[in-house]
Structure 1
Amino acid sequence: MIGLEAHLKTIIIPFWKNLKDMENGGFFGKVDYQLKTHKNSDKTLISISRYLYAFSLWYGYFKEDDLLEDASHAYQFLIEHLRDEIHGGYYWQVTYDGLPSDVTKHVYGHAFAIYALSEYAKITDNKKSLEEALSIFELIEQKAHLGEFSYHEEFTNKWLMKDNELLSEHGANLPYTTNTLLHLLEAYTNLYRASKNTVVKARLIELINGFTKTLYDDKEILFHMYLDHNKQVRRVGQSFGHDIETCWLIDDACLAIDYHRSDIEQMTKNVAEKVYERAFTKNGLYSESIHGRICKDRIWWIQAEALVGFYNHYQKYKDNRYAQATISIYEFIKTYIVDDRPNSEWLWGVDENLEPLKYRGIAEGWKAAYHNGRAIIELLKRGLS
């Protein structure tokens, strides 16, 4: 695994730094496949939060002042332009110059704001950042929490409930997604590490137990992707990327709060091994299986999460297959996912023939400095280089 730090510092970090918008704040919202920067594209809560998280994470590791400056730049835009000062919470999206363009409130986006603000608080003496993260936590718990292991996800700007249009995929039109719950889990884990707040810890335990008791299928060995209006699992398929990501994030959450149970340990072990069995190939990890049909696209974020997920599994059980899988996926990333054109980063992905997916950009609302930037840091912290 030679070259992880160089990969981060010569490919990933420079690309995202170059998208810093010095005139209007934040970071430019889109770079298309042709590497054209769309300076007038909207800026999303998700992407700005991910910039704040990533630059804070990178500064925490490298201690380089310019990374802290970039994190502070993202923090300022998040607070000044995406926060709704009237009704509370954060807008889904604003224009390039910071005016509200989609005032929807979504728990998924707020989870990333918590995640990012917590990381920023950990690397600075900015007490307001941690206070803001805790206030978002309290708002989500007040407005969205529906009882044991369920959150309403989508709201109007005035926090009136509406259908979950932004995150319900695969034609399911379902109100509760594992995707949102997963990112609440990682956000609350980071918030607990920064705050040691006992209420946050209690919600983390609830989330972990919900994955164990509700979303985990011990026969199919996967985490279900959706719950219906009656909070019953809806069998749609398996997201290989989310499943391997969930395994290491649950392990990390349990570590953060010192919460260990054999059934949780067995669950993450089973799911990680099934993802390996069903989706790992010599050319990366498949995307998902929906209604029995496997999508063989190799998407950038799925490869990044597989790096951490498989290496985490190797560290726990010392099964060399998972160390080799980590190396294999990293080599695949360098060969097929890294865009070798100047001033680019990772592609969105490649199809089953290993041809680039040109219909998605190099940077956009759903692709920002997060999955791959975090994965490399995780591997470095775990002793790889």
Structure 2
Amino acid sequence: MIDPDAECRRLAGFARPAAASAAGFWWLDEAGRPDPGEPVHTWITARMTHVFALAHLRGDLPGTEAASLAAHGVRALSGALRDDEHGGWYASVTVDGEPVGTLKEAYAHAFVVLAASSGVAAGVPGAAALLDEALGVMQQHFLDDSGRVVDSLERNLRSGEAYRGANSSMHTVEAFLAAGDVTGDGAWHQRALAIAEHLIHGVARSHGYDLPEHFDLDWNPLLDYNADRPGDQFRPYGCTPGHLLEWARLLLHLDATLPEPPVWLVEDARALFARAVEIGWAADGEPGFVYTTSWDGTPVTRLRLHWVAAEALAASGALHTRTEEAVYDEWRQRFEAYIEDHLIDRDLGSWHHELDEHNHPSHQVWRGKPDVYHAYQALLLARMPLSPSLAVQLRDTHPVNP
């Protein structure tokens, strides 16, 4: 089975070259080289900053290297990727720091909050100011009056797409859990709970836990959204089993964090996991999770994406921790074996980000190996307590002194 400490060190080492641009962390190719065909994305820079903050707390790189890399990320998020004129963060910039496009995305802003939260826990200079600003932008601009997530806005932080999405909401829950732990302000946990209650205990439960991902401005599901683009990177058509797994884990973190958690958190986590396994795992006869399914539960996009296996590992570990039921540990071992057999790239490093339906490397949805966020933290989440967030746990328990 996988040695999580050794694998985390290997992943952190693979990710180091991403810091080649002062604007942030670069998208990496199959061999871990910066890909000049991609701009510098805020979501990648934030996720890598989060990983290197964790790596510093764990001592996964020699000396102060991980701390320096986390500081590089905080500087980029406080510099080239930040809009000094209107506030908030660009979706991406060129390597010279010029903005690419005009939309500002809740998805990327959620990861800025996560990165800053982990940076605060790791003692990264500038992280506290970054967190204060990011939380202010999120609360003022990316939450509506009912506390639900606004997916995108124009550069001036007004208007935006006529679209709401479950993906950005899910990562906002993750970010608010971390922010609440770092700041000690339980209001962020309550905001996370409200988002989860709407989308999971409300929408997903009413759809048999096949969570719709796409909505209009009034949160009416758009079940045919992107039917002509079923393999979209961020907005695929249909149900995404990997997100059912990710939501299941987040519900268990909420359950472990809240002083009086509602009973539906664990009930819905169980149901989401069961549905993801039912429709996603080996759904076409081959091992691994298919990327997407139709509303009758049949596979649509049969590619195997690495992040889905990572979230399966983390979710099964979380369910075993919460329930102590052997079946979840059996699933965890099954997923870990799959990752070891098919996803870990022993030749070029990191994990293959995409496999075809026969578990051979593929590049239809994802080119290269953009970042190590899902793989790195899943190895920790599958084995660590459910609360507090990873960075706070590592700060409080690990011998490395930030």
Aligned mate of 2:336, from 330, 333, 338: 330
Match of 2:372 in 1: 369
346 and 2 in structure 1: CA distance in 2 versus 1, 3 angstrom threshold: closer
Aligned mate of 1:38, from 29, 35, 51: 35
Determine the C-alpha separation between the residues in 2 that align with 1:185 and 1:109. Answer: 13
Whether the 8 Å contact between 2:180 and 2:189 is mirrored in structure 1 is yes
Determine the C-alpha separation between the residues in 1 that align with 2:204 and 2:96. Answer: 43
Determine the C-alpha separation between the residues in 2 that align with 1:52 and 1:315. Answer: 27
Determine the C-alpha separation between the residues in 1 that align with 2:319 and 2:187. Answer: 29
The aligned runs of 1:256-271 (5 Å cut-off) are 256-271=257-272
| 1:45-89 residue CA offsets vs partner (Å, 9 max, x unmatched) | 001001111101122223752211111111111211111111001
Name the aligned partner's letter for residue 196 of structure 2: I
Determine the C-alpha separation between the residues in 2 that align with 1:219 and 1:151. Answer: 20
Name the aligned partner's letter for residue 349 of structure 1: E
Name the aligned partner's letter for residue 92 of structure 1: A
RMSD of aligned residue pairs (Cα, Å): 2.4
Q: Displacement, 1:124?
A: 0.2
Q: Displacement, 1:212?
A: 4.0
Aligned mate of 2:168, from 165, 168, 180: 180
59 and 34 in structure 1: CA distance in 2 versus 1, 3 angstrom threshold: closer
Match of 1:58 in 2: 55
Q: Displacement, 1:199?
A: 3.6
Determine the C-alpha separation between the residues in 2 that align with 1:76 and 1:9. Answer: 24
Determine the C-alpha separation between the residues in 1 that align with 2:100 and 2:311. Answer: 31
Determine the C-alpha separation between the residues in 2 that align with 1:193 and 1:233. Answer: 32
41 and 277 in structure 1: CA distance in 2 versus 1, 3 angstrom threshold: closer
Match of 2:6 in 1: 6
Match of 1:189 in 2: 177
Q: Displacement, 1:16?
A: 0.3
**Matched residues, percent identical?**
17
Determine the C-alpha separation between the residues in 1 that align with 2:203 and 2:47. Answer: 26
Determine the C-alpha separation between the residues in 2 that align with 1:214 and 1:380. Answer: 30
Determine the C-alpha separation between the residues in 1 that align with 2:160 and 2:4. Answer: 43
The structure with the greater share of residues assigned to strand is: 1
Is 1:356 equivalent to 2:365 in the alignment? no
Match of 1:221 in 2: 209
Whether the 8 Å contact between 2:52 and 2:66 is mirrored in structure 1 is yes
The aligned runs of 1:12-161 (5 Å cut-off) are 12-21=11-20, 24=22, 26-31=24-29, 33=30, 37-39=34-36, 41-62=38-59, 65-124=64-123, 126=125, 128-161=126-159
Q: Displacement, 1:112?
A: 0.4
Determine the C-alpha separation between the residues in 2 that align with 1:229 and 1:219. Answer: 19
Q: Displacement, 1:152?
A: 2.2
Whether the 8 Å contact between 1:227 and 1:234 is mirrored in structure 2 is yes
Whether the 8 Å contact between 1:130 and 1:195 is mirrored in structure 2 is no
Q: Displacement, 1:39?
A: 4.2
| 1:178-233 residue CA offsets vs partner (Å, 9 max, x unmatched) | 10110110001100001122442332232232234432225513332222232223
Name the aligned partner's letter for residue 316 of structure 1: R
Whether the 8 Å contact between 1:5 and 1:380 is mirrored in structure 2 is no
The aligned runs of 1:266-281 (5 Å cut-off) are 266-281=267-282
Determine the C-alpha separation between the residues in 2 that align with 1:146 and 1:193. Answer: 23
Is 1:381 equivalent to 2:384 in the alignment? yes
Determine the C-alpha separation between the residues in 2 that align with 1:291 and 1:2. Answer: 35
Q: Displacement, 1:155?
A: 1.3
**Structure 1 regions of 5+ residues with no counterpart?**
165-174
Q: Displacement, 1:35?
A: 6.4
Q: Displacement, 1:134?
A: 2.8
Whether the 8 Å contact between 1:114 and 1:137 is mirrored in structure 2 is yes
Aligned mate of 1:162, from 160, 163, 173: 160
Whether the 8 Å contact between 1:212 and 1:264 is mirrored in structure 2 is no
| 1:12-33 residue CA offsets vs partner (Å, 9 max, x unmatched) | 1111013321x635333341x4
Match of 2:396 in 1: none
**Structure 2 regions of 5+ residues with no counterpart?**
225-237, 387-402
| 1:254-282 residue CA offsets vs partner (Å, 9 max, x unmatched) | 32233411122211111112222222237
| 1:306-360 residue CA offsets vs partner (Å, 9 max, x unmatched) | 0010111122233323212212222211221122323x32112111122211343
Aligned residues: 365
Q: Displacement, 1:107?
A: 1.0
User: Residue 19 of structure 2: SS of its match in structure 1?
Assistant: coil
